[in-house]
Structure 1
């Protein structure tokens, strides 16, 4: 038997924070690739600490539904799962290329394949592009259009910005969009000044957040000038400083993310059969 644990942050304050986690877990559950699929959270139930105890399978694949390698993926989740011998250096990562490591959770007698977060997987580049396609309604979006990959950013974790810039650079190299910039909420260059970083009339903003919440539905829309009051909503596209801004929802709400979770588990050794095709196919190629 093999099991999958989708580990996410969750929230005591935002009831929608866990919605993407349940949606992606359900999509994978329906494929039958795993005998068990378990959601687990830091701020909600079921909690990380109980995740392994609730499973019958002795072989478990844990995939963090987080954007960056950092405090939660390197400290909190391994500690709460009680992974024996864990150390962040086992990932041998520069902040964007964690793969997986196999450890024991001896107190529950399980072998755990602990994977890097979905946010640093190469396939996330394609998910970002898919969000741009969806919000514009144009599967060929790119020429004469600027793309802003928007992250939280923080001085406390350099890997937070690394993940955003990593995908921005990968998209830039494809030369599909006129311009591609990584912008942040809490560090420079700031998303508040988005129009100052683009010459393109049309700009697509894709927030690299797992769930829609306070930042993506309140802060960013008001800060970039989409609306004066988030409660009144905003047009798509919105006219701001002579540009048209197309604002996508959080990247984590994109249904294609279920495939990225499966990619992580498969790379760690899980037998996923044809599950990738049934959740919109293998997304590790050169573009969606």
Structure 2
């Protein structure tokens, strides 16, 4: 019998974009190819394979459940545990063990991936990072501070490197909102990298933010990409795969970030 554990990655999912599926499947495939796991599956709370059915179909005696979410909020604390009938970090069931991990967005290494993606964006644009502003875009929520707190925490870690003019945060669903911030952004000034702190390129990341950037460029007469560049969702980055492995104690088996 294969003694290796199984892995179940659970995302929110989207009815409007394939981004969440691409992101989660990419991580699962890379981790399965690494030989760390006997099986690696993905499931979603909406618009995808049901987490309960997927978990039921898995055969590993020990299964690691990793939420592909950016903060430890309502979905990770309440919805997923209730849906899967798990309590705490370890649940023994039918002779097996379910190990429920922290949402990957809270991993300390996420700040460095955000930072590296921003530096890569500067390099591609020909911008000097020391002359560039960095805005980290989180989802935010008027009902919970969890999203804003982790976004600010990662931004503070990036700020310690002193590689950009400034490192600040804006949000989709709470002030300061990225849409409003762009409305107030003047036509002239230093270049800006917008770093998406999202699990995948879903509706907000693939449609809303690019649309708001395009509206700003049309309003100010700026050439496309001349002053604003968006990194896309950090959660889809291949380097996040290593964070998933690290979060369950297998970082030595994957290449470093």
Q: Normalising by the residue count of structure 2, what TM-score does the alignment of the two structures yield?
A: 0.87
SS in 2 for 1:262: helix
1: CA distance, partners of 2:103 / 2:247: 8
Shift of 1:66: 0.4
Work out whether residues 10 and 44 of structure 1, in 8 Å CA contact, stay in contact via their aligned partners in 2: yes
Work out whether residues 145 and 200 of structure 1, in 8 Å CA contact, stay in contact via their aligned partners in 2: no
Higher helix fraction (1 or 2):
2
Question: Which one of 204, 213, 216 corresponds to residue 215 of structure 1?
Answer: 204
Shift of 1:72: 0.9
Q: 1:159 to 1:141 in 2, by over 3 A?
A: farther
Gaps of 5+ in 1: 87-100, 239-243, 267-271, 284-288
Gaps of 5+ in 2: none
Work out whether residues 51 and 81 of structure 1, in 8 Å CA contact, stay in contact via their aligned partners in 2: no
- List structure 1 segments (4+ residues) > 4 angstroms apart after TM superposition: 138-141, 194-200, 226-229
Work out whether residues 65 and 119 of structure 1, in 8 Å CA contact, stay in contact via their aligned partners in 2: yes
Question: Which string of whole-angstrom CA distances, capped at 9 and with x for unpartnered residues, describes residues 21-41 of structure 1?
Answer: 001111111100111111121
**Aligned positions of 1:1-288 closer than 5 A:** 1=3, 2-83=5-86, 85-86=87-88, 101-104=89-92, 106=93, 108-137=94-123, 142-192=129-179, 193-194=181-182, 201-224=190-213, 225-226=215-216, 235=224, 237-238=225-226, 244-266=227-249, 272=250, 274-277=252-255, 281=256, 283=257
Match of 1:286 in 2: none
Work out whether residues 10 and 42 of structure 1, in 8 Å CA contact, stay in contact via their aligned partners in 2: yes
TM-align CA RMSD: 2.5
SS in 1 for 2:169: strand
Figure out how many residues of one structure are paired with residues of the other and give that number.
247
Q: Normalising by the residue count of structure 1, what TM-score does the alignment of the two structures yield?
A: 0.78
